[in-house]
Amino acid sequence: MAIDVSPVPQPTRDAAYNNGQAVPSWTETFARWTEESAVIRARHAATMDLPYGPGERQKTDLYPGTDPRAPCLVYFHGGYWMRNAREMFSVLGEGVASRGWSVAMPGYTLAPEASLAAIVGECSAALDWLAGNAAAHGAGGPLIVAGWSAGGHLAAMALSHEAVTAGLAISGIFELAPLADTYLDEKLSLSREEIADLSPLRRPPVMKPLAVTYGTRELPALVANSHAMHAARMRAGAPGPLLPVEGADHFSILDTMRRPDGALTRALLDLAPELPTV
């Protein structure tokens, strides 16, 4: 499924990527996640706010699993690179944590304070830090990246990091050109160079497993992004499934990461390499 990058009226472009307008209940969902995440963070106070860089948001929350050899899920939050925070999403690690996994949730500087290129660089720096330091905190397993919405873009970009073994891109943005001249670009200020260099669809596919997933009730533009990303990887022979989540919208899809038997939990478990026998 190709992504149409031809000019269309700005109101149409705005609506095509306005997930909050499409799902008005998102504010209640975020309030619930934030409240429940605060309880989880309080249980892991010793490994919260670990700095990977000098910036205020350049910190990661680390939730060591019960099995230090198990994979560590590295989750990048969404919010069109300009809003939200890692502290809101701690609940999303519950599914894999029930299987002994560790979970890391890095933050990053938001636009317009940081350019998209700088944000991608910060995510790479967070992975550098985790590769060198997570084991000392009880999270020594392989790193599997995941991200939702803008975080899906960041996860796809992070797949090439040498410490990453696989990834899960949830409702991601993989072609940046349609975002130009929308309300989003008021803060993103995307340059032609950034669109060319930072659109995962324009980069050579990384030959590591990447599961691409979306909700069947997503906006068509988001569905098209996922289909196009998976198709490009298929053409190149890159591994990883396309996983539509039936009945899920842009926000409810994340609840399937919380359940041990949820669709996204299963997708992550399927990405995990075999653990060595003792």
Contacts of 80 (CB under 8 A, 6+ apart): 17, 149, 150, 184, 188
In whole angstroms, what separates CA 66 from the centre of its chain? 23
| pLDDT value, residue 202 | 98
Identify the domain containing residue 93 by its residue range. Answer: 28-271
Cα 272 to Cα 101: distance, rounded to the nearest angstrom:
10
User: How many domains, the chain?
Assistant: 1
Q: Residue holding tokens 């803060």?
A: 187
Residue 253 lies in a domain: yes
* 151: in domain: yes
Q: Is residue 8 part of a domain?
A: no
pLDDT for 46 equals 95
Is residue 104 in a domain? yes
Q: Return d(Cα 179, Cα 84) in angstroms, integer.
A: 19
Domain membership flag for residue 157: yes
For residue 74, the model assigns a pLDDT of 99
Residue pair 96/131 in contact by the 8 Å Cβ criterion:
no
pLDDT tens, residue by residue, 210-235: 999 999 999 999 999 999 999 999 99
The answer to whether residue 6 sits within a structural domain is no
Pairing state of beta strands 59-63 and 102-106?
antiparallel
- Taking only the tens place, the pLDDT of each residue in 34-66 is 999 999 999 999 999 999 999 999 999 999 999
Other Cβ atoms within 10 Å of 215 Cβ, number: 25
Residues in Cβ contact with 5 at an 8 Å cutoff, skipping those fewer than 6 apart: 175, 177, 178
- The kind and range of the H/E element at 31 are helix 26-43
Residue 203 domain-assigned (yes or no):
yes
Q: What is the pLDDT of residue 275?
A: 52
Mean pLDDT by 10 residues, the chain (278 residues): 65 90 94 96 97 98 96 98 98 97 99 98 99 97 98 99 98 96 94 98 98 98 98 98 98 97 98 62
Residue 2 falls inside a structural domain: no
138: left (phi over 0), alpha (psi -120 to 50) or beta: left
Whole-structure pTM over 0.75, yes or no?
yes
Per-residue pLDDT at 278 = 36
Which of 148, 246, 143, 156 minimizes the C-alpha distance to 198?
156
Question: In CATH, what number is assigned to the domain containing residue 143?
Answer: 3.40.50.1820
Identify the pLDDT of residue 12: 82
Helix (H, G, I), strand (E, B) or coil at 9: coil
